Amino acid sequence: MSYPVHRMRRLRRTESIRRMVRETSLSPSNLIYPMFVVSGKGIREEIKSLPGNYHVSPDMIVREISEIRKLGISAVLLFGIPEKKDSLATQAYSDDGVVQRAVQEIKEADTGVVVITDVCLCEYTDHGHCGIVKNGQLLNDESLELISRVALSHARAGADMVAPAAMLDGQIKAIRIILDQNGFPDTAIMAYSVKYASILYDMFFKEGVKTVLKFGDKSTHQMDFSNSDEAMREIMLDIEEGADIIMVKPALFYLDIVYRAKNEFKMPLAVYNVSGEFAMVKSMAREGYADETSLCREIFVSLRRAGADLIITYHAKEMARELLKFQQG
């Protein structure tokens, strides 16, 4: 039977009723906050293109983590910007690297926040690519040793989870093997399983991690944004190699991929709401075209509705504050 017996608007009549029948939830525990760690002491400098996000030195990071914990955010994802860069990314796997020191600070403070570390070499190489380069080509297998060394150094520092981002073939297997062989079988892997070659990363590289490509681009290892079936094969391989959480990056332009990934694999799924997506929201809010909080909430619920369990976002703190108000109201 249909109208007038069935009236869909009955369950939309008040906010209290709408809450009762809401199908998709969003809470601070779904959010992961990216953080940028730099060398030095006493540093907390706002990133111009990512307002509300900062370059922070290791000695200052616990103050930031304390705020994050109070907001109910589940985890942080740490990126490192070294003092020196070279062709072999030696600062990436140094026991005294900026990420390693930041992890130690967080763990010594017993913050209770899950610490995830980005495992990639591009922030640490002088050429800006994600591994060893020879004759203008990124070498896959030769780079795996360095990537696995980075992951091991993060685990030794106390990271709960490592997140390999280079999209090199076999990187998950290489990391799982080295972690297990060195007594870290419980260190989880969040795989950047589907990372598209996207222009939406530009602000992250230019100002977030201060990385400039000396030549070429990353289309030989990051995915062609025209492809969907290939994304499923990438995920399947990462799961077979030992990934505990899979990821789709970017987020908003790839909801079809998020939906497919969740339905086909039933794995814990993260999405990365990247710098370009963040900037679009900021621009609309700045020009008065949309309320920033309302827009963010709609975006993040759409990501959850598509199948995302976790959302990595530069809006994490702002959104968490609003969600807490909403839940209390």
Catalytic sites, residue numbers: 195, 249
- Decide if 113 contacts 73 (C-beta within 8 A): yes
Q: How far apart are CA 111 and CA 67, in angstroms?
A: 10
Name residue, tokens 């079936």.
229
List the one residue out of 113, 114, 37, 140 whose CA is nearest residue 81: 37
Pick from 91, 112, 110: which is nearest to 154 by CA?
Answer: 91
- β pairing state of 188-195 and 44-46: unpaired
Q: Collapsing DSSP states into helix, strand and coil, what is residue 96? A: coil
Q: Find the Cα–Cα–Cα–Cα dihedral 95, 68, 189, 201, rounded to 10°.
A: -90
C-alpha–C-alpha distance, residues 303 and 277, integer Å: 13
Using CA atoms, how far apart are residues 324 and 316, in angstroms rounded to an integer? Answer: 12
Dist. CA 225–CA 324, nearest whole Å: 35
Residue 226, burial from CB neighbour count under 10 angstroms (0-12, 13-18, 19+): exposed
| CA dist list (Å): 261 to 173, 197, 211, 256, 274 | 20, 18, 30, 9, 19
Listed in sequence order, the DSSP H helices in 39-139 are: 61-70, 98-108
Cα→Cα distances 23→15, 18, 296, Å = 14, 10, 18
